[in-house]
Amino acid sequence: MHKKTQPHVSALKVVERLQDQGYLAYFAGGCVRDEKLGRTPKDYDVATNARPAEIEALFPQTIPIGRAFGVIAVIVDQNLIEVATFRKDIGISDGRHPETVAFCAAQEDAQRRDFTINGMFFDPVTNTLHDYVNGQRDLERKVIITIGDPVERFQEDHLRMLRAIRFTHTLGFALDPDTEAAISTMAHLITHISAERIELELTKMLTESARPGDALAHLLKVGLLQHILPEIIPMAGQKQPPQFHPEGDVFEHVVLMLNLMNGQASLPAFTLRELAYAILLHDVGKPATARMGPGTDGELRIRFDGHASLGAEMAETILTRLKFPNKERKHIVDAVRGHMRFMDVPNMRASTLRKMIGAEAFGLELELHRIDCLGSHGMLDTYDYLQNYMAAMANEPILPEPWLRGNDLLELGFTEGRLIGRILKEAYDAQMEDRFADRDALLDWVRSSHRPAGNE
């Protein structure tokens, strides 16, 4: 079996093989852009004048992933390289794909692509750039601009509107005014795109941008956010008590928090995607629960009683719509539901605190809490308290094995299920609070404090 090599090496082999047989073959699209920017491309695409059948004949391992559109996947040294025949797209079938294609020259192929910075070809054999769309110029200008008429480009593929915002913020470029104006006019068409594709672009925007909050604000500005996440819109303009949120309204708070997420490249207990969506959705329940009421000082202020619980329900709906995996969805929803309980941490019983820390999503909840504080009042007292508590508990399990199980209570004569459950909970809490020295002392307490006769 061939050892897996770097994608660049595999793609170069594909180009060399095609050129050796007399065909034109270049690196194409995003990999050319990234190499010009000094970035390591995540994958490599090859464009060629060889037809699909000719590509398949040249390579032993191929997959016809888009044969009708001239796209063949070639597997080289365990890397999958997409090889596409130069083509022009004909017709618009669904706002995402052409009705058919016609094979053509490289110059025409470049004209069908989305943005100038993605429309360049590079010959790695001769080290020659083939730029028919001024992509090099726009890389140097740091501008995202469509190839040709932006309205036509967005009509061909509505997802390109989201990609324009994504590239603007992941690359730190400016968005061409005419391109932005076309997005604002055509934003409603994004509803024709599948939830999976929208989630993929949104996630890249939130996890790969230096300032993902700015990307979210840009989505609102151009009118895309209203169509992909309508539940977020009421957050803009929803005032908050200035003593807790001097930064501004709920939307401004979330934008600030997302920007504070910058630099979290590798996280131990959760994914960056989970953190981004937990931040995005943690206060989504605030607008619907906003009311005037007395604060702890008796003065009237805006209150959001129950917003965490409602927000968790809304997050569940949103993440289900975006087709999130069950585990990630649960982690995010749990973080949204639990984000207000941190204010109670200093007064929590040891058993309650240990259960909180031992929860599967606690690492996510703790980081959400930290950024929530930094994005509002700036006080990290509870965060520091928890860090110190966990350090003190480092040599013992936060959630130890229970000393008592259901069988122990059955042997003592307890038979009623709900009573057994309640006693086991009380016993486990007592164990974690160090109220008893060992299992025997805990059993003695159960015998003396609960009577199985009649099962209460």
CATH number, residue 106: 3.30.460.10
Among residues 107, 122, 141, the one where a domain terminates is 141
Number of domains in the chain: 3
Q: Are residues 247 and 387 in the same domain?
A: yes
Q: Which amino acid is at 235?
A: M
What pLDDT, on a 0 to 100 scale, did the predictor assign at position 456?
Answer: 46
Q: Are residues 416 and 275 in the same domain?
A: no
The answer to whether residues 402 and 424 touch, using CB atoms and an 8 Å cutoff, is yes
- In order of 147, 150, 360, 376, the CA distances from 301 in angstroms are 52, 47, 35, 17
pLDDT over 90 (residue 404) = no
Over residues 219-228, the mean pLDDT reads 98
Q: Are residues 382 and 328 in the same domain?
A: yes
Output the average pLDDT for the chain: 90
pLDDT over 80 (residue 332) = yes
pLDDT over 60 (residue 267) = no
What pLDDT, on a 0 to 100 scale, did the predictor assign at position 151?
Answer: 96
Confidence band (pLDDT; 50, 70, 90) for 93? low
Among residues 381, 399, 417, the one where a domain terminates is 399
Sign of CA dihedral 285, 287, 291, 296: positive
Confidence band (pLDDT; 50, 70, 90) for 377? confident
What pLDDT, on a 0 to 100 scale, did the predictor assign at position 311?
Answer: 97
- Is 369 part of any domain? yes
Among residues 141, 161, 187, the one where a domain terminates is 141
Tokens representing 128?
């020659």
Q: Are residues 256 and 365 in the same domain?
A: yes
The answer to whether residues 227 and 187 touch, using CB atoms and an 8 Å cutoff, is yes
The answer to whether residues 111 and 88 touch, using CB atoms and an 8 Å cutoff, is yes
Q: What percent of the chain has pLDDT over 90?
A: 66
Q: Are residues 133 and 2 in the same domain?
A: yes
Confidence band (pLDDT; 50, 70, 90) for 453? low
Over residues 195-206, the mean pLDDT reads 96
Over residues 102-126, the mean pLDDT reads 95
Q: Are residues 324 and 364 in the same domain?
A: yes
Which structural domain range is residue 84 located in? Answer: 1-141
Q: Are residues 130 and 261 in the same domain?
A: no
- Is 285 part of any domain? yes
Q: Where are the beta strands (DSSP E) in 298-362?
A: 300-303
Over residues 397-410, the mean pLDDT reads 82
Q: Which amino acid is at 142?
A: K
Rounded CA-CA distance 416/413 in Å is 10
What pLDDT, on a 0 to 100 scale, did the predictor assign at position 402?
Answer: 86
Confidence band (pLDDT; 50, 70, 90) for 452? low
pLDDT over 80 (residue 2) = no
